[in-house]
């Protein structure tokens, strides 16, 4: 019985190590996505003023902004 447990300990250890690494990667990705969302939200708050002035002076419509928003949703 102890030989069977001794044989399983390395596999269990590697499995736990793998689980901790994957968990850390998923948490880091979640944090990175949250930070990117906060950054984009902050940029979108200031963006309408800049884009309205830019489109009025250059004669462009806001169609390019809408296309970018649609791409983000995908």
Instruction: Quote the pLDDT of residue 46.
Output: 77
Better-predicted residue by pLDDT, 64 or 7: 7
Place of tokens 């990117």: 36
pLDDT in tens, 5-57: 999 999 999 999 999 999 999 999 999 999 999 999 999 987 655 555 555 55
Question: How far apart (Å, rounded) are the C-alpha atoms in residues 56 and 67?
Answer: 18
pTM greater than the 0.75 cutoff: no
What distance, in Å, lies between the first and last C-alpha atoms of the chain? Answer: 54
């Amino acid at each position: 019985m102890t030989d069977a447990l001794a044989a399983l300990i390395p596999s269990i250890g590697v499995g736990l190590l793998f689980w901790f690494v994957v968990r850390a990667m998923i948490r880091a990705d979640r944090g990175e996505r949250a930070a990117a969302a906060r950054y984009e939200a902050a940029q979108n708050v200031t963006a309408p003023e800049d884009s309205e002035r830019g489109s009025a002076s250059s004669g462009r419509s806001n169609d390019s902004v809408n296309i970018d928003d649609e791409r983000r949703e995908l």
